[in-house]
Amino acid sequence: MDIKQIKYALEVAKSHNFTEAARNLYLSQPSLSEQVTKLEKELGFKLFLRHKGRPLTITYAGHEFFNQAIRVEKEFEQLKTIKNTFKNEQATFIRIGVLGTFGYTKIQYLINEFRKLYPEIKIEFTIDVSENLIKQFSRNKLDIIFVTKDNHQLFNSQQVKESLISSSPLCLILNKRDPLSINSTISLTQLANQNILLPSYRSGLYKAVHNELKKNNVSINKVGANSQVDVVCQLAKANIAKGFISLEVFKNSKTKDIAAIPITPKINRNIYMIINLQSEYRQVSYLFQTFLNDRL
């Protein structure tokens, strides 16, 4: 079954006559009849009852089929319009801002799937922290960003579209032989006098962890601040310092001999997708958003 056969059958249903339908479609009557017969065989039921010397009659099954076929034809025409939009506009380019940890999240798999599905669309990546991505986005230098901070709430809601893409609990990363690794959850109050690598100062999680430690008067041995996954995991593996990454990132890091213990009270690492609705590449941005929403 293809769209041409559906169009042919719809024209016959409209005309109630093969000869008139063939004339409207600029086809020979035998060719049209052959295509409709093929469609009926594929469907497994008759669309029309043929009567000699009288107009065609649409069967009950035919009426059901054509009700859906009209909708399919309209949607197909809409798809053609989108196709022409992409051909005629500068709509084969998109600028995406991602976090340094995106390679450890489901975002990378979704972007790769999108690129395979739409190889004609070129993607320019900017990898940075949330704060800098938001600045570039506000200057119209990025069309879509994936960020963790709440600064995105400052945007005019009529100019942007935001979606929560993932939410993963922040975990303490430590050596499996560390006594604290037996816990199912861990409070930051248990980190007193421990060697701790805090999240990067520019990370949205630094403030959350720092404030929780300060609120509970927890004194730690701070060895630095870094959110690079490899750095956090290697320092934990070497038993030099405990660090912080989300559970989602940890599961994709595949580093051996380390454990991830969720923090309590819970601190979530939320990743938002923010789309610029005013971008000159908004057609591609909309396509990308639809693609992601269908898979989340």
SS3 content of the chain, % helix, strand, coil (to 5): 50, 25, 25
List, for residues 228-263, the tens digit of each pLDDT value: 999 999 999 999 999 999 999 999 888 889 999 999
pLDDT tops 90 at residue 194: yes
Q: Is the model's pLDDT at 51 over the cut of 60?
A: yes
The confidence score (pLDDT) of residue 254 equals 82
What integer pLDDT is reported at residue 157 of this predicted model?
A: 63
Q: Is the dihedral of CA 277, 281, 287, 291 positive or negative?
A: negative
Cα–Cα distance, 23 to 35 (Å, whole number): 15
Residues 6+ apart with CB under 8 A from 271: 99, 105, 107, 146, 147, 148, 164, 165, 166, 167
Give which of 174, 161, 180 is closest to 239, Cα–Cα. 174
Q: Average pLDDT of 14-34?
A: 90
Taking the domains of the chain in order of start, what are their residue ranges?
3-88, 91-296
CATH topology of domain 3-88: Arc Repressor Mutant, subunit A (1.10.10)
| pTM, two decimal places | 0.64
Residue 156 has pLDDT above 90, yes or no: no
Q: Could you tell me whether strands 195-198 and 122-127 are parallel, antiparallel, or unpaired per DSSP bridges?
A: unpaired
Residue 287: Cβ within 10 Å count: 19
The hierarchical CATH code for the domain 91-296 is: 3.40.190.290
Region 172-186 average pLDDT:
96
Mean pLDDT, range 192-213, rounded to an integer: 91
| pLDDT of residue 110 exceeding 60 | yes
Taking only the tens place, the pLDDT of each residue in 158-170 is: 678 888 888 999 9
- Reduce the DSSP state of residue 102 to 3 states and report it: helix
Kindly state the average pLDDT of the residues 82-93: 60
pLDDT, position 295: 77
